[in-house]
Amino acid sequence: MHEARVDLKIGLNRAALRVEYLYLKETTITGDEMKPQHSDIFSPLKVRHVELRNRIVAPPMVQLRPITSSDGIAWYRRLAAGGAGLVIIEATGIPHFGNELTAETLKPLADAIHAEGAAAAIQLFPIVFGTTADLNELTSEQIRDIVAGYGNAATVCRDAGIDGVEPHGAHGYLLNQFFMPDRNGRTDEYGGSFADRCELGLEVVERIRGSAGDDMLILYRHTPVGEGYTLEDSLDYAEGLVAEGVDVLDISPARAATVADLAAPFKKQLPVPVIAVNGMNDPDAAAEALRNGLCDLVAVGRGLLCDAEWPNKVREERFAEIVKCTDCNQGCFGNLTKGQHVACVHWKDDPVAPFVV
Ligand SMILES: Cc1cc2nc3c(=O)[nH]c(=O)nc-3n(C[C@H](O)[C@H](O)[C@H](O)COP(=O)(O)O)c2cc1C
Ligand code: SF4
């Protein structure tokens, strides 16, 4: 039985970001005593045809610059040049694909990431990011359009040379809401039973695989424990997602200090690589989580935003040079909620983070 809760009707932009922010406040940053042994972080991983040079993922982070602008490309080039193995481009609304986002306009972005030795994926958002939609008011036709839009976006990405796509199914946003019994009040095939609440996510993955083909990596970002649903529910959902073609599970708990512990059950139960994210910017803890088999990949978000060279510096054991994220959430989330270009308070006078607009 799921515990009933008040539906806060989270808007898809500011309010949901606030939720992410509140969750993030619970994370802790450690790592004052780093050890030189981090080989688990730098062991390569092959997923489908894609070779990842190491286990470090730059997770999707909205930066409020058009992703195909020169600034946007420079932003992502910087993340790739810092040594991450996989760079996931920020949440991007599927309605943009086929319009301003085409294979031609996206290719320079994919090329820039590849030129720096990283693989490129992009997170796909079901509607224009920053707009809202009430899942209970969506018509069948609108849901069909969302599913079709995912297929179209994935095809455009494939043609642009992007290696993977990631439906954003986490953090209380629209796809995640379909999974939540407290939010989803639909009485059609997309709401009601557990299977029906999984239906949209599964259809999205099925459509992506059907449209973009076998060479496209499919990641899926999911929050393992959320409003009205349990870890066990999520494990069942993940099994379905993998059966439809998901290659990598991006488990974004948005809560808990030892977050890799929440990725671990997915790694144990599912036959695909699992990303752990949230406060994974301590190289010791990241290496330990990998070594202990809690996850296959670690995503370092604000740590890379703060110092994109984190992977190179860890690899070269230049630990003292790492500009550490201090968990202040000012330049990153702070700017985002104010509608300003995302930045980091530590960039000022920082020679390793010259990307300042
Ligand atoms: C500025 C900013 C923008 C973000 N945008 C997204 C996003 O587009 N999609 C998403 O799933 N998560 C987003 N996140 C969450 C990050 O991907 C990541 O899960 C979170 O920052 C926790 O990891 P960390 O502790 O390593 O920063 C964002 C985070 C930040 C700081
Ligand atoms: S502004 Fe910089 S230091 Fe502060 S939380 Fe964001 S990334 Fe970390």
Q: What is the DSSP string of 107-129?
A: HHHHHHHHHTT-EEEEEEESS-T
Residue 95 falls inside a structural domain = yes
State how far the Cα of 53 lies from the Cα of 129, in Å rounded to an integer. 30
Distance of CA 256 to the CA centre of its chain: 17
Residue 198 falls inside a structural domain = yes
Residue 7 falls inside a structural domain = no
CATH of the domain at 331: 3.20.20.70
Does ligand 1 have an atom closer than 6 angstroms to the CB of 92?
A: no
pTM of the model: 0.91
Residue 106 falls inside a structural domain = yes
**Is 164 in a helix, a strand, or coil?**
strand
Closest atom of ligand 1 relative to the 277 alpha carbon: 23
> Can you give the pLDDT at residue 144?
98
Residue range(s) defining the domain that contains residue 315 = 14-347
> Can you give the pLDDT at residue 27?
36
Closest atom of ligand 1 relative to the 90 alpha carbon: 8
Domain count, the chain: 1
> Can you give the pLDDT at residue 341?
87
> Can you give the pLDDT at residue 160?
98
Does ligand 2 have an atom closer than 6 angstroms to the CB of 327?
A: yes
Reply yes or no on whether 173 is catalytic.
yes
Residue 352 falls inside a structural domain = no
Residue 119 falls inside a structural domain = yes
> Can you give the pLDDT at residue 2?
31
Does ligand 2 have an atom closer than 6 angstroms to the CB of 101?
A: no
Max CA-CA distance within the chain? Answer: 57
Mean pLDDT by 10 residues, the chain (357 residues): 27 36 36 64 97 98 93 93 98 97 98 98 96 96 98 98 98 96 97 98 98 97 94 98 98 73 94 95 94 96 95 95 93 92 80 45
Residue 5 falls inside a structural domain = no
Residue 109, CA distances (Å) to 147, 166, 305 in order: 25, 17, 18
Q: Assign 3-class secondary structure to 37-90.
A: CCHHHHCCEEECCEEECCCEEECCCCCCCCCCCHHHHHHHHHHHHCCCCEEEEE
